[in-house]
Structure 1
Amino acid sequence: MSYQALYRVWRPQRFDDMVGQQVVTRTLKNAIITHQISHAYLFAGPRGTGKTSAAKIFAKAVNCHYSQDGEPCNECDTCKAITNGQLNDVIEIDAASNNGVEEIRDIRDKAKYAPTQAEYKVYIIDEVHMLSTGAFNALLKTLEEPPANVIFILATTEPHKIPLTIISRVQRFDFRRISATDSFERMKSILDQKKVEYDEKALWVIANAAEGGMRDALSILDQVLSFSDNQVKLDDALLVTGSVTKQLLKKYFLEVCQNQSAPALETMKEILGEGKDGQRFIEDLISFIRDVLLYQEAPKLIKVESTGLKDEDFAELSKAASSTTLYRMIDDLNNIQMEMRFTTHPDVYLEVLTVKLSQPVLEQKSTNEAPQVQAGGAKQAEIDKLQAQVQALQQTVKELRKNGEVVNKTVRNSPQSVKEQPRVKSRKIQINLHKVYPVLAAATRQDLIKIKDLWEDMLNMLSVPQRSLLHVSQPVAASPDGIIVAFDYAFLFQQATDDAALIRAMEEGLQRLSGDERRVVFVPKDQWPRIRQEYIQSHGLGKGSQATHLANKEQSAPANAKSPVQEDEAAEEPPSQEPQSGVQKDLVATAQELFGSDIVKVENN
């Protein structure tokens, strides 16, 4: 007979032979003993954890006439036929290659017939998540109304891909990953029965490399036996699995913790020079740091003999770095591991990782303590230097804030503007008054109303980012050839001012809608009252001279059109406390003539 792999030769034939699935095996055995057998089961779990083996053992146990305590005898003809795959009533199907509707319909039609040799006809569908949607629908009816003496066992590694309508009609058993200890004991038992010499440290390396799969562990063990001429040695196990020796990991870890990047790089090159896999090196290092971290918190949680190190080694390693440093190292390792998946030059990533891990970091022991350099080798002089730099930066910030307050006081002098200070001050705000004043000189209420009517249509012509920027703005003045837009926040005003594309898009949109070319000027909303007031004062629009300006300016404007500058100025001017002079009377008469006597209100106190 040809050679068979270990995982086939030592496949469990009884529930008690299964490793690490005590809850599942006990439940299935009790169901057989009490004759509470369901018509459908779902075995879900990672690869190599015993799902298909448990399905075959269950098929033997329910059909064995000599079963004891829910275990098959493995001696009767039925048990032997099922073990050899020769019983017609136990059908094993690979859903990966038989995932169509026709295959499932064939199963559904044949399931109606009674079993020929055994008491139960058992269908074992492996990798059931590979079935198509139509196949699942065809299987659903059979699971909902199953024929008598028929049992379906569905096995999968990805239960989330199975429809909920299927899961709700089966009993689900979750197979967990097999621990390294259970894998170690199982391999040790097999090698003892085979009378093969082995090194226990090599078995621990294989158990950790299997990552919870018993079949993977036996496959690796098979490779090591073939490589080392029917022996299991530590060096051979490390070479086959691509793992790194614990002593090299310890050396690398200590060099990194002591900020010795050059020696750490040499150690890393030595590791890769031995043919070690980069991904495996990252995984081994994460596991190594995890053991050190657990030893710091609770030494009893670590089974020292399974790590390949001694208590003295862990005592030294736990003092080399704080828990915060270990957390940071694990995070960096996880990030590098993700980036290395698609690269053909892992050594570059590992070199960068080594230098990064070797860099000292600032850690804070408590909220009341000053930052201190926790990495080994830092001197008090370096700490004092850093603190001096921090103090200098803080003083600079204070001076900048003080200067900023002085500038803001000179710019914003009204109570309303003080309340509406911008929350973000990125830099000094600059307003181009040479563009604002010409618009104010020719601004009319009629133009402003026209722009406000076209505002929403103009916004719809802009891109989404541009519309979002103008969401907190509104037109405050307009003339036949210009428009002033005020922003609620100063930092958005500055961003819009620097955006030439936005200004060009607004001007083009307004030209299309109105037919007139208008320049767009931006101002901060909190500074708009000051700008308007300064314009009025600088152009002689205050008090007595206002009537003259109104008469001159409104000659070209409609009788009922009012400038926004004039309207705002009139609204902000308090009622006069003195009897009206001749000039004031002229002003009132002119205002009534321009705006109508029903709008102008004169009060004398």
Structure 2
Amino acid sequence: MAHLALYRAWRPQTFQDMVGQQHIVQTLQNAIRENRLSHAYLFSGPRGTGKTTAAKVLAKAVNCERGPSQEPCNECPSCVRITAGTVMDVVEIDAASNRGVEEIRDIRDKVKYAPTEVRRKVYIIDEVHMLTTEAFNALLKTLEEPPAHVMFILATTESHKLPATIISRCQRFEFRRVPLEEQTARLREIAEQEGMNAEDPALAYIARLSDGGMRDAVSLLDQIASFAGGNVTLEQAIDATGGLPSEQFARLATAVRDGDVSAVLQEIDDMMKAGKSADKCLEQLMHYFRDMLLAQLAPDASSSSGRVADPSDLRQLAAGFPREKLFGIIDTLNRYQTEMKYAAHPQTMFEIALIKLCTASGETPSVQEGSAAGASAGGAQAGVSSGEVSKLQARLADMERKLEAALKGGGVAGGSTSGASASGGGRSSGVSQAPSKAPRVRVKLDPFVAAHDSPQSKELTAKWPQVLQRVKEERVTVHAWLVDGEPAAYADGTVLVAFRNTIHRETTERPANKAMIEGVLTSVLGKPAEMVTTMQKDWQEALASGAGASREEAAAGEELRLVPEDGTEPAREPIIEEALRLFGEELVVIKDD
């Protein structure tokens, strides 16, 4: 955080001052009273929960001139000097910047010497998980059998990165996130002592924003007090931290519920004009819907369950959302938040995520309205089961909606004429065939063999690194699959990619992944491009044998088609036959999903 002055002034100096860690405080105090101190402790837990502070208080308690006592007096020379950091026998090491084996060997060489200023040598190693493997090995023997006058206290936020041999030689204490009520009470006490006029909603907002870290909460209070001139209100706290008021989230949630895309885009535009970050806005919106879900499922839960807004303010809005709808919204926002990390334009991803939510909320009535037409169409198909009729109703209703939108726009919904010509009409939006029922197909390699050495194929090979980079920027997971393939040839607007691994090929061929790759190919090559795939061994065999076709035939424009391996035409499903009967072959196109 930017402001730490107030935290330094209010940093706990005794065990009693620590907030939210009573279980650890009691254990350490009992160990001091009964003289059962360990030679090594491991303090782990989230940032800002008091790990390093507890280590320093423990160092003072065991070295206090009036002790060892359960609480340091903070008045004797030893306590005062340990607090100031001027005692040579109490050493605090930052493992993030002193992580090598040489630093640990230096400690190992010095622990044998008795302390010169206090009763016990104490080594506090902060962020210990940053040590190298060699450094851990050097520390291992010292931790196992240290001299009686030495105590090690290791602090870390990522205990899972420590070797098991290190953990097994320490007494481990897990620091917890500080409860919201305790944080708020502590912030109120600090504000009163500092003469600040702080509203309770503002203090609760600061506590929620700190995510259980007392250090972050006090630092935020200092920052907001500086911004507000000592008068801390909720509005000023939101402005100072770059947050969004709950009213704006409520307007967004209402627009999503009503399927109002215009209102959603206007709210997003207002956020961006105010200098907000798209990824932070999406994250806070996801927490807002999470709070709505909790307000619906657990209306009597304490206010500590809230993060962006208090649950009591959300119950009326939450009543307008079905429970399944809230689960779906949170899941969608979470997926888009993950993809936003790799997006070149986060604001666009934010807009698409909310537009998708609006569209999803508006599709249910359309299906209901079209159920009657779907039922009559399904009944016309002889021998179709009730389950198939239900699927037919839903699919036909969706087709009617898309067809209506396409006719208003002057074209086939989701269609691609270039895709139809290049692959025999097999890649445009329309009726989707189930993959399990589709016949196994292969690509005719003759035209690609003929175009193997063409200028277009050489251009494709030269620009392939650029294609891979663009795919990586769009979606890094797809890039991980696509790198297994190599560009084989470019013919008649279609790119052939040869794969070494079947799994990589099949994953790349998934409709969403394939559509994204084809978009990148079109952008990089500067002309429409579709993608088909094959295995490298099949491609090498085709090159070696010439694929049984002459270059003249390929140059004459032989159509690139996906055909079944037995040479027969694929059998059509009943639902496809019914769609063709209802709409005609001109308007229905089929894609392999």
Tell me the TM-score normalized by structure 1.
0.62
* Distance in 1 separating the partners of 2:565 and 2:252: 60
**2:485 alignment partner in structure 1:** none
**1:352 alignment partner in structure 2:** 352
Alignment of 1:510-549 (within 5 A): none
By how many angstroms is 1:82 displaced? 1.0
| Amino acid in structure 1 at the alignment position of 2:374 | Q
Q: Greater shift after overlay, 3-12 or 251-260? A: 3-12
C-alpha contact (below 8 Å) 1:294/1:302 kept by paired residues: no
By how many angstroms is 1:112 displaced? 0.7
* Distance in 2 separating the partners of 1:49 and 1:207: 13
C-alpha contact (below 8 Å) 2:180/2:204 kept by paired residues: yes
- Describe the SS at the equivalent of 1:256: helix
Q: Which runs of 5+ in 2 are unaligned?
A: 389-434, 443-497, 506-532, 548-563, 567-593
C-alpha contact (below 8 Å) 1:291/1:302 kept by paired residues: no
C-alpha contact (below 8 Å) 1:121/1:151 kept by paired residues: yes
Kindly provide the CA deviation profile for residues 381-416 of structure 1, in whole angstroms up to 9, marking residues without a partner as x: x61413532663575595899xxxxxxxxxxxxxxx
**1:292 alignment partner in structure 2:** 292
**2:53 alignment partner in structure 1:** 53
By how many angstroms is 1:341 displaced? 2.4
C-alpha contact (below 8 Å) 2:43/2:155 kept by paired residues: yes
Match of 1:392 among 368, 377, 381: 377
* Distance in 1 separating the partners of 2:72 and 2:38: 18
| Amino acid in structure 2 at the alignment position of 1:327 | F
* Distance in 1 separating the partners of 2:338 and 2:240: 23
**2:520 alignment partner in structure 1:** none
Alignment of 1:374-413 (within 5 A): 378=365, 383-389=368-374, 392=377, 396=381
C-alpha contact (below 8 Å) 2:115/2:121 kept by paired residues: yes
C-alpha contact (below 8 Å) 2:91/2:123 kept by paired residues: yes
- Describe the SS at the equivalent of 1:334: helix
**1:186 alignment partner in structure 2:** 186
Match of 1:426 among 416, 431, 438: 438
C-alpha contact (below 8 Å) 1:111/1:150 kept by paired residues: yes
- Describe the SS at the equivalent of 1:92: strand
- Describe the SS at the equivalent of 2:231: coil
By how many angstroms is 1:250 displaced? 1.1
**1:219 alignment partner in structure 2:** 219
Q: Greater shift after overlay, 220-229 or 388-397? A: 388-397
Kindly provide the CA deviation profile for residues 113-172 of structure 1, in whole angstroms up to 9, marking residues without a partner as x: 112232211110111112122211111111111111110001111212211111111111
**Could you say if the C-alpha distance between residues 181 and 271 of structure 1 is closer, same or farther in structure 2, counting changes exceeding 3 Å?**
farther
**1:323 alignment partner in structure 2:** 323
**1:236 alignment partner in structure 2:** 236
Kindly provide the CA deviation profile for residues 35-94 of structure 1, in whole angstroms up to 9, marking residues without a partner as x: 110000111112111110000011111122435972212122221111111222211111
Kindly provide the CA deviation profile for residues 432-489 of structure 1, in whole angstroms up to 9, marking residues without a partner as x: xxxxxxxxxxxxxxxxxxxxxxxxxxxxxx99669xx9xxxxxxxxxxxxxxxxxxxx
Q: Greater shift after overlay, 337-346 or 4-13? A: 337-346
* Distance in 2 separating the partners of 1:120 and 1:72: 14
| Amino acid in structure 2 at the alignment position of 1:120 | R
| Amino acid in structure 2 at the alignment position of 1:300 | D
| Amino acid in structure 1 at the alignment position of 2:105 | R
**1:575 alignment partner in structure 2:** none
- Describe the SS at the equivalent of 2:124: strand
C-alpha contact (below 8 Å) 2:120/2:150 kept by paired residues: yes
**1:586 alignment partner in structure 2:** none
- Describe the SS at the equivalent of 1:20: coil
By how many angstroms is 1:268 displaced? 2.6
Q: Between Structure 1 and Structure 2, how many residues are aligned? A: 419
**Percent identical:** 44
- Describe the SS at the equivalent of 2:198: coil
Kindly provide the CA deviation profile for residues 247-284 of structure 1, in whole angstroms up to 9, marking residues without a partner as x: 11112111211222212222232233223332332222
- Describe the SS at the equivalent of 1:191: helix
Q: Greater shift after overlay, 16-25 or 144-153? A: 16-25
Answering whether residue 103 of structure 2 is matched by residue 103 of structure 1, we say yes
Alignment of 1:411-560 (within 5 A): 425-426=437-438, 501=539, 504=542
Kindly provide the CA deviation profile for residues 206-259 of structure 1, in whole angstroms up to 9, marking residues without a partner as x: 222222222222222222122122221222211222211011111211121122
**Could you say if the C-alpha distance between residues 180 and 285 of structure 1 is closer, same or farther in structure 2, counting changes exceeding 3 Å?**
farther
Q: Which runs of 5+ in 1 are unaligned?
A: 363-371, 402-422, 431-461, 470-494, 510-521, 525-605
**2:589 alignment partner in structure 1:** none
Tell me the TM-score normalized by structure 2.
0.63
C-alpha contact (below 8 Å) 1:196/1:230 kept by paired residues: yes
Answering whether residue 117 of structure 2 is matched by residue 132 of structure 1, we say no
**2:519 alignment partner in structure 1:** none
- Describe the SS at the equivalent of 2:91: strand
**2:261 alignment partner in structure 1:** 261
| Amino acid in structure 2 at the alignment position of 1:21 | Q
By how many angstroms is 1:180 displaced? 3.0
C-alpha contact (below 8 Å) 1:304/1:311 kept by paired residues: no
**1:202 alignment partner in structure 2:** 202
C-alpha contact (below 8 Å) 1:72/1:79 kept by paired residues: yes
**1:580 alignment partner in structure 2:** none
C-alpha contact (below 8 Å) 1:248/1:271 kept by paired residues: no
